[in-house]
Structure 1
Amino acid sequence: MIIHSLSGPSGTGKSTSAIQFAHENQIDAIIDDGLLILNGEKVAGTSAKFEKNTITAVRRAIFQDEQHKQQVMDALEKYQVQAVLIIGTSDKMTKKIAKRLQLEPISYFHHIEEIRSTREILMAKFIRTTQGKHVMPIPYKQVEQNFFKRFIYRGFDIFSQSKVKLGETTIVQPDFHQHVIDISKNVYVDLTKYIISQYKVIAKIDAIHFVMKDYRQILYLTVFLASPVNYDVMEKMRGLQQLISEQFLRHFEFEPSSIEIRLKGILEK
């Protein structure tokens, strides 16, 4: 069996990326937070995300329980897995999991920075901090059957580059994640208004809409240019996009996925 490791700090989007990454690298199975996932579905194990505290969650994730460990080992043999991706917060953790499941040595070590952009990682961390959301790379129906009293809802479908569906995700909020920061959308809009008000070539703001969907955040701006237009409009608009991105990163530790500017007209400022 070929063993791969994917590591990165908590909340950086490892589980979100796992199914597509495994598909692209011809990896049959994924071991993530105590679960064995095959072809996008859970086939064995119990998720660490439903433990009561972080200590028991870590123990679950590294298979300290003998019965849990044996269940996953038996499933690996039953399904004749040829390659497996072990996910953890560090190489040390994935090595420990591999040793517990008698899968060592690990052949390939991958890190989240290699497969996700800095922007995607920052957004994933922001969502974890502000909303306490954790992603499980298995279908909602498989979580619902055992944990229907928990805070869970459907995530999003995972597709290959050729648009073939590879699997689904489920969003959960574990009991051990107690601290969240709630930020109203008005805060993002108000900051954007302030940034634009300081930008000399904008005469008036007509509309601002901020949309957050899954892991994408789109800022829609409709503005009037200031006359006289004796400047490079495209250059100035790119400058405004860059300024807004920098200020979002400074204040919220993430950058919008897209900033779309619509020019409605020209006015005297």
Structure 2
Amino acid sequence: MIVYALVGKSGTGKSTSVLQYCHEHNIPAIIDDGIFILNGSKIAGTSAKYEKNYIKAVKRATFFYEDHCKEVMDAIQMTCVAKILVVGTSVKMVNLIASKLELGKINKYVDVSEIRTSMEINMARHMRNTQGKHVIPIPYTQVETNRLKKIIQKGKKLFSKQAKYIGEVTVIQPRFTKGTIMIHENVYRDVIIHTCKTLHFVRNAKIVESDFNTFQGVTIEIELNWQLEKNIYEPLEKVQEMVNEVLLSYFEIEMNTIDIQLAAIKLEI
């Protein structure tokens, strides 16, 4: 058996990306959060996201409980898979899981940053921090709803780059989450306007359009104090750069687009 490992901190979108990675590398089996998944369907185990607290969730994910560990080991042996991917938050964790399940030495380690862009990772972190959403890479119909406190939504079907269907993920709200952080859209708007006005050449600024949840784009209308002989693109690009840096620093949002509309110029002599 060839053993792969996908490593990344909690909330970076590992479970969302794992089906695409397995499809591209012809890996039929996955170990993620305490469950054994084969060809997109749960075969054995219990998700760590069903646990009542974080400590128990970690124990479940690392197969601390003997009956749970044996159930998954037996299932893996019966299926005789040639390739398997172990998902974890660190190299130490995936090594522990591989040892517990007697998978042998891990042949290839992959960091989540190798298969996801920084924008995708920051978006996943933002969604985790503000909405507490977690993903299980199995279909909604296989989720044991009676064991969960709350199902958030069905998640989505995943397709390859060639539009081929490769599986489904389910989005849930685990019982061990600390809660959610609600940030009103006006907060983002106020921060953007304040950032623009800290630049000495910006006379005024306002938000024309914005989307901070899905598309992640914003359109800003500004008025400038500027000298006629200077390149007009310089201050506009500076506004884009500053807004992007502030949103990334404060909220871990990496905007998809920051469009600047120039409404007026007061010429300086």
TM norm structure 1: 0.87
In structure 1, distance between residues paired with 2:149 and 2:207: 45
Stretch moving more, 15-24 or 117-126: 117-126
Say what the alpha-carbon RMSD is for the aligned residues.
2.5
| Structure 2 residue 92 is matched with structure 1 residue 97 | no
Stretch moving more, 46-55 or 136-145: 136-145
| Structure 2 residue 157 is matched with structure 1 residue 157 | yes
In structure 2, distance between residues paired with 1:171 and 1:79: 27
Q: Which runs of 5+ in 2 are unaligned?
A: none
Q: Which runs of 5+ in 1 are unaligned?
A: none
Deviation at 1:34, TM superposition (A): 0.7
Aligned residue in 1 for 2:211 = 210
Deviation at 1:111, TM superposition (A): 1.6
Could you report, residue by residue, the CA deviation over 1:15-71 in whole angstroms, capped at 9, with x for unpaired residues? 121111111222111110011122222222110001001121111111222332232
Could you report, residue by residue, the CA deviation over 1:55-93 in whole angstroms, capped at 9, with x for unpaired residues? 211111112223322322233234332111101111111
Query: Which letter maps to 2:244?
Result: S
**Equivalence map 1:1-269=2 (5 Å):** 1-143=1-143, 145-147=145-147, 149-199=149-199, 200-201=201-202, 203-205=204-206, 207-213=208-214, 216-223=215-222, 230-263=229-262, 265-266=263-264, 268=266
In structure 1, distance between residues paired with 2:2 and 2:108: 8
TM norm structure 2: 0.87
How many percent of aligned residue pairs carry the same amino acid?
42
Q: Is the contact made by 2:48 and 2:57 (CA closer than 8 Å) also made in structure 1?
A: yes
In structure 1, distance between residues paired with 2:86 and 2:53: 22
**SS of equivalent to 2:212:** strand
Q: Is the contact made by 2:29 and 2:37 (CA closer than 8 Å) also made in structure 1?
A: yes
Deviation at 1:147, TM superposition (A): 4.0
Deviation at 1:179, TM superposition (A): 3.8
In structure 1, distance between residues paired with 2:253 and 2:205: 26
Stretch moving more, 69-78 or 93-102: 69-78
In structure 2, distance between residues paired with 1:139 and 1:57: 21
Relative to structure 1, is the Cα distance of residues 142 and 258 closer, same or farther in structure 2, using a 3 angstrom cutoff?
A: farther
